[in-house]
Structure formats: structure tokens, C-alpha cells
Amino acid sequence: MNKVLGQLKFYRKEAVLAPLFKLLEATFELFVPLVMAAIVDNGIATGNKAYILKQGLLLIFLGVIGLCASLTAQFFAAKAAVGVATRLRHEMFSHIQSFSFTDIDRIGTSTLITRITSDINQVQNGVNMVLRLLLRSPFIVGGACIMALLIDVKASLIFLIIIPALTIVVCVIMKITIPLYKKVQMRLDELTGNTRENVAGVRVIRAFNNEQIQVNEFDANNEALSSIQVFVGKISGLMNPLTYLIVNAGIAVLIYKGALYIDSGRLTQGQVIALINYMSQILVELIKLANLIVTVTKAVACANRVEEVFNVTTDDLPDRANIKETTDNPDEFKVKESENDDKYIEFENVCLTYEGSSDEALSDISFSVKKGQTVGIIGGTGCGKTSLVHLIPGFYKATKGTVRIGGVDVKQWNMEKLREKVGIVMQKAVLFSGTIKENLLWGSDDNTDRQLWEWLDISQSKEFVEGKNGQLEASVNAGGKNFSGGQRQRLTIARALARKPQILILDDSSSALDYATDAKLRTQINALENMTVFIVSQRTSSISNADMIIVLDDGKIAGIGKHEELLDTCPLYKEIHMTQVSDIG
């Protein structure tokens, strides 16, 4: 809740004016029963039509002023609520962008999507309702009680019984529903995750003819969400009938007592009507308050979930105390790189354990790479190839040991500065909606069109881009769905090259390419000067010309050397190579 309340400081004026105008409207509303009582006692009872007309015009005036005050309050409340939600979404998205891969793995993508959309929408509704009704409803209830006391103390004692009874009902229902609404949002997370998996993997589902299995799984999750929503809805639904029951019982008692007081001359007919009107006002306001509590209960549960995301502190930033050299600006970090190019990138007894796992993904990894070398990484599926290269740009932090770049521990680097040095092509080629040019400029926006064509030529993309209508301005659908797998891979390689990186990581990024195209691509990349290249591949042919090949087996190094050396010294590498040579033959 602290984060939500903190956003309201940017809308102080609206947060103050909205309740004030609502209180102004409520004040006019409290005078209406008194005017009605005067019309009955002084106008209708005496047949004074002029008085009735005069008081009727007063009622219209109170109604118009109240309507204007209500509309003004609604405007300020909506402005504050939408503004708070907009700022929350912006800050949450920015905060999520700072998360390390470990943070995202731990929290989960589906729950982040739910929290930045559904949860913040609930918070927006809650802020809107609170600014409009949180003060108004208690003010009307309290004001109606005071007005009733001013009319007749004895007759208004029923108010002092009804209000505590209603307060007890509201508090009990609120206490039960708050944790239940949190469970509703958790179920929504699961349903969102299930939907996301099915949409992303729809081709695989159809390929294995598992549509009905996935439909059944979705139905089960949907039914679980529906069941808990119905259950909490039933409890929340008790609010209105119980409120009506208590207040209408009070009105019945009031009518009975009022009739006796009129007979005895203690009260006038107008005063009894005023008391009944005040009781009706309490009924209406408590119904509004009940709905407010339901909305606020959801909003509080959702605000706490939003707060949980903001409370996640990422380890993606360096510790200032560990920085060797700083500028006068404390927000800028500099590290002094070593001039020893023989150990430009160094792994020293590195181990990696993923969040929530008891086993190490990498164990005791040690090697060093010279500046400008090409390093091949190969091994069986799940042996830790991707995990190893993800340690270089700091996507994950080594749980043991040290990874150094330029002689400086990766943990000491400012991530922005480090990742300016690194160009990486992930296993899954991801393009963003827009144009080919816009996607390439993700690498670096200072590239000219001529330079972009150079990167496309090196990545073997030039030919098919030239054939596109619009060429560099050709449209790209979300995820690059209007390109083949090989085209997407080559465009992501061109995007990484456009960054002009000192370190280039190709994480199995040519798996969709034929051998001839792969060979041309490697030849072009090898011709680039002063670039240290890491090639993760399942093909020995893709890394056979590398300066150094690292063979991984179950997270450990099974061999290091050049192609010919490993054929003699590493049985695993020889087995992989001979199998592929046999398949090609």
C-alpha cells in the first residue's frame, strides 16, 4: 500500500478536492429531509401553496448544487485514480526491466502480467471509490444520526442501535473476504500462465494432437477460479441483504414509534417523515459503503501484490563500495580494465545454481580467453552451454567463483556499461513488431542505412531483405512471425552485430541454417577484427575452426582445446563429431 499512497502525492489537489466536493454534496443532501418536513408541517397541513412552491424550488436548488458538486468530485477522483494507475504501471514496468533473469525465474512471467494489468486496474477502481465515498458515506451516516437527534432524542435511539449492528456486519465480512480475494488473484495468475503457455505453444499442441488435453486443463483451472470467485461473491453478497434487513427493521420500528408519538403530540407528521428519510439515507449510504468495502477489499489485496513486485530488489546493480574508480557523479560507475589481453575473459572455479534448484547447473568451470579469440562451446542437451555464456553479460551471477571481463569481476561492472560491450543472440530468435530497420537499430541507433546493409550482408540476410517490399522498411510482425526460422536467426545476428560489440555471443543461433549458409556466416564473422566470439552449437562443423573449444558434460568441463586435439583427447567430443560425420555421409 505504501507505493500506492506514494503515488497520490502527485495528485494532492485532486485527492483533497474530490472528497471535499463529495462532502459538500452530502451536506446539501442532509438538508433535504428537513425541507420535506417543513413542506408537510407548514405547507400541506395548512394548505399554503406559496410555501410549498417556495420550498419546492429550494429542493430543486439543493439538487442542482448537489449534482454539480458530485460531478466535480467525480472528475477529480477519476483524474487521481487514472493518474495513480498510469504511474504505477510505468514504474512497475521500469522496475521489471531492471530484474535479473533470476528474479524473473523466481516470480514468473504470468504473475507479472497479471499484476501489471488486472491488479493495477483493481487498485485504480479502489482509489476512485475511496476518494468519492470513503468520507461521504460515514459523513452521511453520522450526519443523519445527528440530525435525527436534533429532531427527537428518544425517537432517534434506534439509530444508535442500527449503526453499530451494521458496523459489525461490515467488519466481519471484510475480515473474511480480504484473504479470499488474494486467492482469487493467485488463481488468475495460474489461468494467465496456462493461457500464455497454450498460445505460445499452439503449434506444438496441434502437432501432438493434444488440443483436448489442453482444453481440459484450461477448463479445470477456469473452474477453480470460478468456484473461488463464486464463493467469495456469496460472502460479499451477504452485505446488501443483511444491510437491508437491519435498516428496514429499524424503519419498521421507527414507523411504529412515530405513529405513537404523533398520537401523543410528541412529534409532527413532517418530523416522522424526516426521521424515516434519514433512516433511508443511512440505508442507501451503507449499501454504497458495502460496495465500497468489496471494491476496497479487492484493491487492498491487489495493492499488496503490486507492492510485492516493487519490494523485489535485484542484484543486477554493482555495489558502490566495490567500484575501483568513480566519477564525480555518484550515479556513474567506471571500472579500470586490465591491459592483459591474454586473460580478457576469465572464469575461475565458477559454479552456478539456479533459484529453487538443489543441483548445480555448472560446477568448477575454469578457463581464460584472449582478446579477439573465437571460442566454441559444445556438449549434450542440458549440459550448461547457455548457462555458461549467460554469466558473461551478467544475466546470472555465479554462486561460487569469479567471472572477470577485462580483469574486472562482472559483479563490479555497471550492467549498462557491461552490456554495451556484449552482443548476444539468444537460442530463441525474437523480433519485435515494427520494421526491419527498427529491429536492427535495437543494437545501436547510431547506425546509418549503409552500415545496416553491411551487417545484413555479414549475417547472410541481405539477399532476402532486398527481396522484401520496402526492404529495410519492410514490416515485422510481433515475434517475427512473418519470417522463417532461419530468417529470424539471421536478422537477430545482424541486430547483435549492429551493436558493434567487443564480445559477440551466438547461442545456438544458426541451428535453422543450412551448412553452406552457416559456413559463409562464420567466415564473415571471423573476418571481423578485435571481436571476441563465443559460438554455442550442436554442430562440430560450426566450431571446428575456433581458437578454443570447450566441451561440457553435465555442467562440467570434459575437455578444452582445438578441434584436432579434442578428437584425440576427448572421447565425448569425438563421439559427437563422428556421429555427425556419419549422418552427413
The pLDDT value recorded for residue 72 is 92
Task: For residues 303 and 359, state if they share a domain.
Answer: no
Q: What is the pLDDT of residue 75?
A: 92
Task: Report the number of distinct structural domains present in the chain.
Answer: 2
Residues 212 and 359 in one domain: no
User: Per residue in 444-454, pLDDT tens?
Assistant: 778 888 888 98
Tell me whether residue 354 is in a domain.
Answer: yes
For residue 324, is it within any domain? no
Q: What is the grid cell recorded at 375?
A: 571460442
Amino acid of residue 75: F
Check whether residue 83 and residue 25 sit in a common domain: yes
Q: Are residues 145 and 6 in the same domain?
A: yes
Distances (CA, A) of 305 to 57, 184, 204, 294, 310: 51, 12, 33, 17, 9
pLDDT in tens, the chain (585 residues): 677 777 878 888 888 898 889 888 888 888 888 888 888 878 787 778 888 888 888 888 888 988 898 899 999 999 999 998 999 899 888 888 878 777 787 777 778 888 888 888 888 988 888 888 878 878 888 888 888 888 877 777 787 788 788 778 877 887 888 788 778 878 887 887 788 788 878 888 888 888 888 899 889 888 888 888 888 888 878 877 887 788 788 888 888 888 888 888 788 888 888 888 887 787 777 777 777 877 887 788 888 888 888 888 765 444 433 444 444 444 444 566 666 667 888 899 999 888 777 788 888 889 888 888 889 998 888 888 888 988 888 888 888 889 888 888 888 888 788 888 888 888 888 888 888 888 888 877 788 888 889 888 888 888 888 888 888 888 888 878 888 888 888 888 888 888 888 888 988 877 777 778 888 888 888 887 788 889 888 888 888 888 899 999 888 888 898 888 888 888 888 888 888 776 554
For 441, the 3-state DSSP assignment is coil
Q: Give a yes or no: residue 317 inside a domain.
A: no
User: What order do you get walking across the sheet with 345-352 strand by strand?
Assistant: 362-369, 345-352, 400-405, 408-409
Contact 285, 137 (CB under 8 A): yes
Q: Which three cell numbers stand for residue 511?
A: 541451428
Same domain, 285 and 341: no
- What b/e readout covers 123-151, taking b as 16+ CB neighbours within 10 angstroms? bbbbbbbbbbbbbbbebbbebbbebbeeb
* Same domain flag for 289 and 365: no
Q: Is the domain of 196 the same as that of 259?
A: yes
Residue 223, number of CB atoms within 10 A of its CB? 10
| Same-domain check for residues 284 and 390 | no
* CATH number reported for the structural domain that contains residue 42 in this entry: 1.20.1560.10
Q: Which residues of 196-207 are buried (b: 16+ CB within 10 A; e: fewer)?
A: ebbeeeeeebee
Q: Are residues 242 and 365 in the same domain?
A: no
Which pTM does this prediction carry?
A: 0.66
Task: Print the domain residue range for 537.
Answer: 333-584
531 within domain boundaries? yes
Pair (154, 257) in one structural domain: yes
